Amino acid sequence: MRYVVLRDDDTNALTPVEYLDRLYRPFLERKLPVNLAVIPEVTTKATMANGQPEGFLLAQPKHGAERVRLEAGSKLARYLRSRPLYEVAQHGCHHEYCEFDLQSSQEAAARLDKGRELLIQAGFPTPTTFIAPHDKISRISYQQLARRYKVISTGWFELRRLPLSWWPKYALVKSQKRPHWRTGKTFLLSHPGCLLSCHRPYEGMLERVQEVIHRQQLTVLVTHWWEYFRGNKPDDNFIAVLHEVADYLANAKDVRVISFRDVGDGKAAMN
């Protein structure tokens, strides 16, 4: 059996419900769980490495606030809570640039706890999965993460960023070329890059996804909702590819789609 975790990044208080619903309704209707990496209180000034505003800021708040939190009574929070197949993972706290590439344990702890508390206040279960903005995690942040989360999902692992006590285990994992591993109670999952991206050719995208899924036992498939609605216009061709993936995942006999919570509960083989 192959396992797939579908991860969509950057849902935040300014994300239009209609966008998520258009993308993921076919998954939910087929009973496939969708893991959303949710920003608890997004900064409206978020920028990428090149200084450009982040693509997920497709809307700005009317009142010009610098940060907007996902409120329990908002249309988005109500929509997400009403569909239990959406699983909310914590995506940083404000999504500032490389927010968890931190050198202060107090600051890392404070940001993690604030983000977690905000998601709980918004009516979601205590998050057990953490995804760092820009996939950058310092050694100090890893230590704080391992105390709080069962699953850390990131792009790749770098020895120099890991706590020293994790090094022997990681050396072994690396020598065996395993994509995912575990230290103590924490599962550490890598992903094969964003296969579902508007920056890649749409033709052959499904085949590429299938190939990667069959190469390993557990694949984290990463995508970003806002890439399907650049400039607030739906990219129908890209959306069609995502829905082909939904069809494939629902029908493939040897593939099971699970949630990060399932991984944290030890329900998937991880090689």
Q: Which residue ranges make up the site for Zn ion (CB under 5 A)?
A: 9-10, 133
15 or 170, CB closer to Zn ion?
A: 15
Helix H or strand E segment including 220: strand 218-224
Give me the least distance between CB of 54 and Zn ion, in Å please: 7
38 or 77, CB closer to Zn ion?
A: 38
Give me the least distance between CB of 91 and Zn ion, in Å please: 6
2 or 95, CB closer to Zn ion?
A: 95
Give me the least distance between CB of 124 and Zn ion, in Å please: 18
2 or 154, CB closer to Zn ion?
A: 154
Give me the least distance between CB of 125 and Zn ion, in Å please: 21
10 or 87, CB closer to Zn ion?
A: 10
Give me the least distance between CB of 48 and Zn ion, in Å please: 10
